[in-house]
Amino acid sequence: MTPFRLAIPDEALADLSTRLALTRLPDQAPGAPWAYGTDVACLGDLIAYWQHGFDWRAQEAALNAFPQFTVPLHGIDLHGLHVPGKGPNPTPLLLMHGWPGSVFEFLDIIPRLTDPAAFGGDPADAFTVVAPSLPGYGLSFAPGQPRFGVAEIADCLAELMTKVLGYPRFAAQGGDWGASIASNLGAVHAETLIGIHINLLAMRPDVPPPANPTAEEARYAAEVAEWLREEAGYQAIQGTRPQTLAFALTDSPAGLAAWIAEKFHAWTDNDGAIESAVDRDRMLANIALYWFTGCIGASFWPYYARLHGAWPIPEGRTVDVPMGYAAFPREIRRPPRSIAARSYTDIRRWTVMPKGGHFAAMEQPAALAADIAAFFRPLREAATAPGTAPPRGP
């Protein structure tokens, strides 16, 4: 393992500023803002701020405040954060983002997980956090490297935790693809896990609803139908023609910002303005990381692998490790517990959260950290049994 610090060259910052200055915006379609996708006025303001007001170096320093590493694994140089917990016996926690996210999602929640006492919590709830950039994303991307689907990512991260870092058993948490990876780990690598906590339940949309659905099951079926009709277009293009879309988003920072900001608007618990749910600088840091690394095409690959391969929970398998779920009200899909129980046989915690959406670690870091701690509290002994190897790292 090699210690890592992010340092984007000044030349790359200057090139970005030039490209932003040359942005050519489309006209605004008739109708309400955001009705047909990204609002032109909103994106214009965001681009102007990105060029003239956004401080990349401050965001870079915020990331570099945490210890980071790279390690050659499964044919790529995998990047991640490895942040020791401050407590009597911190539990190793694999913390995973999704699309269009990055490790910038976790900068506000990591201190709450590693040092709960600093936020008025119990130091016995401390975790040692391992937050990788998913293979193909951000700092775990290099041009021409192998592409990874969910199963391949899960295999890679299981090896990172057990063989590279020396944690025979660990906790796992994720949203978006991170939740799918956690679920695959729970089905395929169950012997390494003390449990999984997720904040997205991506159940198979092609499974028919029960013959006599409950009110909650009927609500969910209607929700899935609406999602497939109005919201799943990005999945179709990213899952069928990822290379074509990558040309536009790799060449145009404005196009990249439009593609990603639309998801932050649609998927967060906001009042009409993205900034009411997530910090604008943190969202731009996330977008900028995609830009500087040129990873957007590779980040689409889990969608292609999903549409042309297996579901994250393999056919005929279930997740039998303890599972906890934080149900945020503005999450993109919210299956009832009865549907989830088809795939997760040991649901230990099911928390209906009062506020928040898809980017929970950014929107509601305190609430999410508290739910993660509460779920794993009774499971910690399994991860600290006699014989647990000491962690290794930079």
Q: Is 176 a catalytic residue?
A: yes
Report the DSSP pairing between strands 347-352 and 323-327: parallel
CB 126 within 8 A of CB 85: yes
Residue 121 belongs to a domain? yes
Identify which of 46, 61, 124 has the alpha carbon closest to the alpha carbon of residue 88: 124
Residue 389 belongs to a domain? no
Residue 392 belongs to a domain? no
Identify which of 286, 235, 277, 232 has the alpha carbon closest to the alpha carbon of residue 256: 286
Residue 203 belongs to a domain? yes
Residue 109 belongs to a domain? yes
Q: What is the CATH number of the domain that holds 192?
A: 3.40.50.1820
pTM for the whole thing? 0.95
Q: Count other C-beta atoms under 10 Å from residue 118's C-beta.
A: 11
* Candidates 176, 269, 281, 371; catalytic one: 176
* Candidates 303, 325, 344, 371; catalytic one: 303
> pLDDT digit string (tens) for 286-331?
999 999 999 999 999 999 999 999 899 998 899 999 999 999 999 9
Integer Cα distance of 63 and 57 in angstroms: 10
Helix (H, G, I), strand (E, B) or coil at 33: coil
Q: Could you write out the three-class secondary structure of 6-18? A: CCCCHHHHHHHHH
Which residues contact residue 75 at a Cβ distance below 8 angstroms, ignoring those fewer than 6 apart?
145, 146
Residue 393 belongs to a domain? no
Q: Is 303 a catalytic residue?
A: yes
Q: What is the pLDDT of residue 383?
A: 53
Residue 390 belongs to a domain? no
> pLDDT digit string (tens) for 33-43?
999 999 999 99
299 token code pair: 């980040």
Query: In the chain, which stretches have pLDDT less than 70?
Result: 381-394
* Residue bearing tokens 């840091």: 285
Q: How many domains does the chain have?
A: 1
Q: Count other C-beta atoms under 10 Å from residue 115's C-beta.
A: 20
218 DSSP assignment: H
Residue 394 belongs to a domain? no
Integer Cα distance of 164 and 389 in angstroms: 11
Integer Cα distance of 205 and 225 in angstroms: 9
Strand partners, 357: 330
* Candidates 82, 97, 189, 358; catalytic one: 358
Q: Count other C-beta atoms under 10 Å from residue 159's C-beta.
A: 17
Strand partners, 327: 352
Q: Is 358 a catalytic residue?
A: yes
Strand ranges for 242-288 from DSSP E: none
Per the structure, the complete domain to which residue 113 belongs is given by: 2-383
